[in-house]
Homo-oligomer: A and B are copies of this chain.
Amino acid sequence: MEKILITASKTYEVLTGEGLLPRAGRLIRPVLSEKAQKLCIVTDDTVDRLYSGVLSDSLTDAGYETVKFVFPPGEASKSLDTLSELLEFLADHQLTRSDALIALGGGIVGDLTGFAAASYLRGIDFVQVPTTLLAAVDSSVGGKTGINLKAGKNLAGAFWQPSLVLFDIDTMKTLSYDLLLDGAAEAIKAGAIADRELFSYIDRVDRLDAPETIRYLSSRAIEIKRQVVEADERDTGVRQLLNFGHTVGHAIEKCSDFSISHGHAVAMGMVICARAALALGWSQEDCLSPLLASLEKFSFPLACPYSAEELCNAALKDKKRMGDTITLVIPAALGDCRLKKIPISQLNEFIKAGLS
């Protein structure tokens, strides 16, 4: 079992290893209040069938009473309606300020559960148990929680750190290769931001779905996220580096009506961004080639089916809340990204350079 300590407004550990779910109760007990009695497992139908039983048994063995809130999988559940149902559920089951929530699932489960934990009784503890690689390397660490509004994704939420992150690598066995890729994209992103060594590692590796590859990639990605979150927990500066590939990636997701998943879209977004930065002379070296090599090694589909105009319109619709400029993340060198503010009028030209 590997431990990474996150020192944000709350200090907590990310535990990564095999066989952690059956030991969850014992691992969770030290981080919760001694007065904690009741834990609410929050999950979706898919993950519920796979892992609720083992988690719940382990919590019961550790002396906790458990209740369970299950909702339909998918982005549509990350809503004020589900949040509302969950909060009423917690009140109906009379969870106290000392009790806690356990988010068992991917990013949607974690984001929603975290926001409920932040809001219920003005804030109670919660534990992240990510069961997708994407959630493990990205959303479960750093305390960004939230839900979607009708006007857009993640428009309401809270900064609320978990008390513990438990990443049981065994759960990756039930993940499709496509879902593994979604997580791998964020790990490669972390490498592009701050760890060029990661690209040499991928160069030497045989397959993404080997436990040792997953362990290495998640460990590096979490470590880089730790550094960035500790430097800027509330996302007013350097934390924006984590958005490498995301401005264009979000636009791709939207243009596809979310049929292209987040990680796949971010992979395309990173390539477009690296190619544009190279063409415009904003990179000091060729970051595109190693990025392409890593993504292609894992067989990412990288052909972007949208025009610069379509992507630009989608991106700007999302960014009107930001004013007249847009902050891009540019790879100055491999493993060294920088923030660059450009007028929104230049975005179309930038994306065009990235597509050609």
**Are the C-beta atoms of B157 and A321 separated by less than 8 Å?**
no
Q: How many copies does the complex hold?
A: 2
Residue of B nearest to A98 (CB): B323
**Are the C-beta atoms of B80 and A149 separated by less than 8 Å?**
no
CB distance from A222 to the nearest CB of B (A): 21
Measured between beta carbons, the chain B residues less than 8 angstroms from A150 are 88, 91
Measured between beta carbons, the chain B residues less than 8 angstroms from A118 are 158
Measured between beta carbons, the chain B residues less than 8 angstroms from A123 are 158-159, 234
A144: interface (CB < 8 Å): yes
Number of contact residues on A: which range applies?
35 or more
A95: interface (CB < 8 Å): yes
A152: interface (CB < 8 Å): yes
Measured between beta carbons, the chain B residues less than 8 angstroms from A97 are 321
**Are the C-beta atoms of A321 and B94 separated by less than 8 Å?**
yes
**Are the C-beta atoms of A321 and B155 separated by less than 8 Å?**
no
Residue of B nearest to A92 (CB): B151
Residues A287-346 near B (CB distance < 8 A):
320-323
A87: interface (CB < 8 Å): yes
Can you list 21 A-B pairs, Cβ within 8 angstroms, ordered by A? A35-B323, A80-B80, A80-B83, A84-B84, A87-B155, A87-B156, A88-B150, A91-B151, A92-B151, A94-B321, A95-B321, A96-B321, A96-B322, A119-B156, A119-B157, A119-B158, A121-B156, A122-B144, A122-B158, A122-B234, A158-B158
